[in-house]
Amino acid sequence: MYTRVTKDNFRDVFLSSDNYSENFSYGGLTALYDYFSELEDELCESIEFDYISIAGEYSELSIKELRDSYSLDKDIDVIEYLQKNTIVIEIEDSDRVIIQDY
């Protein structure tokens, strides 16, 4: 049995969590929700909402943090590089992205 999770429900679960409220920004949570909604449409099946798993599998970082974390040269396009290796979810109107940890 499934309950439909709305965008507001999705964000509220994270933002009200004692352990995961700092994992993602409001814009990041919106981008994550949109990503999972589109994935459900592509797969034609429901995805179980497990916020603990999501918090453990995905990270929100700035482009600078990504460049530093992966020791990338400034000439390398960070987004393009990461897209070859993992899922990258861009956050609208932000210099931050969400990546699936690998």
HSE, side-chain direction, 13 A CA sphere, residue 50: 8
* pLDDT, tens digit, 9 for 90 and up, residues 19-61: 999 999 999 999 999 999 999 999 999 999 999 999 999 999 9
- What is the model's pLDDT at position 1? 59
State how far the Cα of 45 lies from the Cα of 25, in Å rounded to an integer. 27
- What is the model's pLDDT at position 55? 97
Overall average pLDDT of the 5-11 stretch: 96
Instruction: Kindly report the average pLDDT of the chain as a whole number.
Output: 92
What are the percentages of helix, strand and coil residues in the chain, rounded to 5? Answer: 45, 15, 40
- What is the model's pLDDT at position 66? 86
Q: pTM higher than 0.85, yes or no?
A: yes
CB 99 within 8 A of CB 87: yes
Is 90 a residue whose pLDDT tops 90?
Answer: yes
State how far the Cα of 11 lies from the Cα of 36, in Å rounded to an integer. 13
- What is the model's pLDDT at position 81? 86
Retrieve residue 102's tokens.
């690998």
- What is the model's pLDDT at position 4? 85
Cα distance between the two ends of the chain: 31
Overall average pLDDT of the 68-73 stretch: 78
CB 78 within 8 A of CB 67: yes
